[in-house]
Copies of this chain bind each other. A is one copy, B any other.
Amino acid sequence: MSDRGADVLRPAPHPVPDSAPQAARALVGVHAEALAQAIEALGTRSWHSRYPESPSPRVYGEGAADAGREAFEGRLTRHFEELADQPATDAWLGAEVSPYGPSLRVEYPHQQVDGLLAAAAAAMGPWRDAGAEVRAAVCLDALDRIHAGSFEMAHAVMHTTGQPFVMAFQAAGPHAQDRGLEAIAHALLEQRRMPASVVWEKPGRGEPVRLAKEYRIVPRGVALVIGCNTFPTWNSYPGLFASLATGNAVVVKPHPRAVLPLALTVSAIRESLRANGFEPDLVTLAVEADGEGLARTLALHPAVALVDYTGGADFGSWLQSQAATPARSVFAEKSGVNSVVLDSTDDLAGLLANLAFSFCLYSGQMCTTPQNVLVPRAGIQTDQGRLSFDEVAARLAGAVRDLTADDVKAVELLGATVNDAVRASAAGLAELATACDGQVVLESRLVQHPGYPDAVVRAPGVVSLDVSATSAYERECFGPVVLVVATDSTEQSLKRFVETTREHGAMTAAVYSTSEAVLEGAREAAMNAGVALSENLTGQVYVNQTTAFSDLHGTGANPAANAAYVDAAFVASRFRVVTTRRQL
């Protein structure tokens, strides 16, 4: 079979306009190879990373960790002065309290909305005219500046989200930055697919008809990125950089309890824009006063054409029904209910270690943490013999207990609970078990943090219940709660997995089986449910982790999210193409 069409489709870089700022034009050459490699990785889905995930001094240098901590500490109790030049400032405010205890007492400029959006809109012209290549290079420069502050960012994220330090470093630093690069590369590729110009020749009887055509990329408008409390950078960078790289201005509205990570982000991007000859107001931070409802106001503003949101289902659904219009697209990642189907295993120890880690990491406060473990009532076959349903539940509980037995080690995995809702659900397992006629297999243990006495740290608890108790497991129970659900059979497990996911959404799913037929059935179920599936993970890869350039985060095919990080559908509608044509 010919693949000529595939071979000749080589979207070439666009020309770089002479009118673009000199500094920005110079960046195009600097970053061309990095962007080419990133685009290549998008096509192969093979491993690719620009930003090393190890916080080791061998990678980041001897003084980097200390310098980052000091930089973070230097932010506390002050105005965030780098954002003092944002437009339409009318107050300074901030009320972040670390889940580990301390109040940050950092204050940020508060903006008058119309003035902010007017400045954002006014900044777009030269950014649009600079073209796709310049925008990608400047975005990558901005990411590199963010990267340079990765240790400072780690502390900022730790003390706004409650993530443990190493996770905060990795997830909010290099992993988020790689997701940002992925979005930039995807955006560049999408724009390159439309050539800048063509001389079109239609053959005819005499001279061909010839037209000169130009294809101009135009932005949608101002993009709004609404950050979440738990993953302020990782969940914001895809939308932020996809919108910015396609020519839009971006207003970043952080969660009131996780402002600092996005203030650092916005300030680094503004620095890059300024250094490269663009108006910094292309990217601004919009913090909200108590009870202001700023996200709503911004999302309904006529200047706003794109909204990216991560957070709870209620506000997400409101955005999708009220803010989405023909002229305004909403990309939303909401809550979901993630399932694990246990059928059988030839590596019980690996299964238990792997799942226990997934349950415990950040106390289950990830949108990707498994919640419902579906196990046949008759138990499962393992390499350690057949286990009854109760034994499975007990072994899962035991694995969690063992992994979190030592307080000092446990806090480095669990982090701190982020809010009272999480704490309440962890503390309410007995009540939950009573309500659903289930059993508490493991209480959620209160762990004492050795360094932060005010931190509320919780190890996951485990409740077993019957498949008939749908109201207990057909909703998200965000935080350190594992529900082990007794089903009639693996077949019913798969059926319930599909139904729960289709109705309530899911970001992840996992299956354990030694049977190829069951695995094939699970793949079919995953396709029908519209969720990514991890099979028989027993090593150092976890169901709740996705990797930029290879794994999609979300699918857009179930209610948990209407888009995926990062596929073409996430990027392609963020810009439009205006053709001009004339006869030659």
Pairwise interchain contact B44-A192, C-beta atoms closer than 8 A = no
Beta-carbon nearest neighbor of A204 in chain B: B540
Nearest CB of chain B from residue A425's CB, rounded to whole Å: 26
Q: Give the bracket for the number of chain A residues in contact with chain B.
A: 35 or more
Pairwise interchain contact B47-A200, C-beta atoms closer than 8 A = yes
Pairwise interchain contact A583-B532, C-beta atoms closer than 8 A = no
Pairwise interchain contact A209-B45, C-beta atoms closer than 8 A = no
Pairwise interchain contact A218-B533, C-beta atoms closer than 8 A = no
Pairwise interchain contact A44-B198, C-beta atoms closer than 8 A = yes
Segment of A139-147, A359-367, A565-573 in the binding face:
A565-573
Q: What residues of chain B lie closer than 8 Å to A572, measured between beta carbons?
A: 567-569, 572-573
**Contact residue among B39, B47, B200, B218 (Cβ-Cβ distance under 8 Å from A9):** B39
Judged by a CB distance under 8 angstroms, whether A195 is at the interface is: yes
Q: What residues of chain B lie closer than 8 Å to A500, measured between beta carbons?
A: none
Given contacts A215-B45, A536-B583, contact A568 B6 (CB under 8 A): no
Given contacts A220-B557, A539-B209, contact A5 B45 (CB under 8 A): no
Judged by a CB distance under 8 angstroms, whether A446 is at the interface is: no
Interface string of A174-209 (1 = CB under 8 A from B): 000000000001000110111100111111000001
Beta-carbon nearest neighbor of A523 in chain B: B580
Q: What residues of chain B lie closer than 8 Å to A537, measured between beta carbons?
A: 582-583
Segment of A237-245, A322-330, A428-436 in the binding face:
A322-330
Q: Could you tell me the distance between the alpha carbons of A18 and B206 in the complex, rounded to whole angstroms?
A: 49
Q: Could you tell me the distance between the alpha carbons of A437 and B410 in the complex, rounded to whole angstroms?
A: 81
Judged by a CB distance under 8 angstroms, whether A105 is at the interface is: no
Given contacts A2-B33, A33-B2, A320-B325, contact A577 B559 (CB under 8 A): no
Interface string of A38-56 (1 = CB under 8 A from B): 1110111111000000000
Q: Could you tell me the distance between the alpha carbons of A538 and B539 in the complex, rounded to whole angstroms?
A: 69
Judged by a CB distance under 8 angstroms, whether A228 is at the interface is: no
Q: What residues of chain B lie closer than 8 Å to A214, measured between beta carbons?
A: 523
Q: Could you tell me the distance between the alpha carbons of A555 and B326 in the complex, rounded to whole angstroms?
A: 13
Given contacts A526-B578, A533-B581, contact A39 B6 (CB under 8 A): yes
Pairwise interchain contact B550-A36, C-beta atoms closer than 8 A = no
Q: Could you list 16 A-B pairs, sorted by A, with CB under 8 Å?
A: A1-B28, A3-B12, A3-B32, A4-B37, A5-B36, A6-B12, A44-B195, A45-B195, A46-B199, A216-B523, A523-B580, A527-B578, A534-B581, A535-B581, A564-B576, A569-B576
Chain A residues within CB distance 8 Å of chain B: 1-13, 28-29, 32-33, 35-40, 42-47, 128, 185, 189-190, 192-195, 198-203, 209, 211, 213-216, 218, 220, 317, 320-321, 324-327, 332, 523, 526-527, 530-541, 547, 550-552, 555-557, 559, 562, 564, 567-569, 572-573, 576-583
Q: 5 other contacts beyond A43-B195, A536-B582, with CB at 8 A cut-off?
A: A1-B13, A2-B33, A3-B36, A5-B35, A564-B576
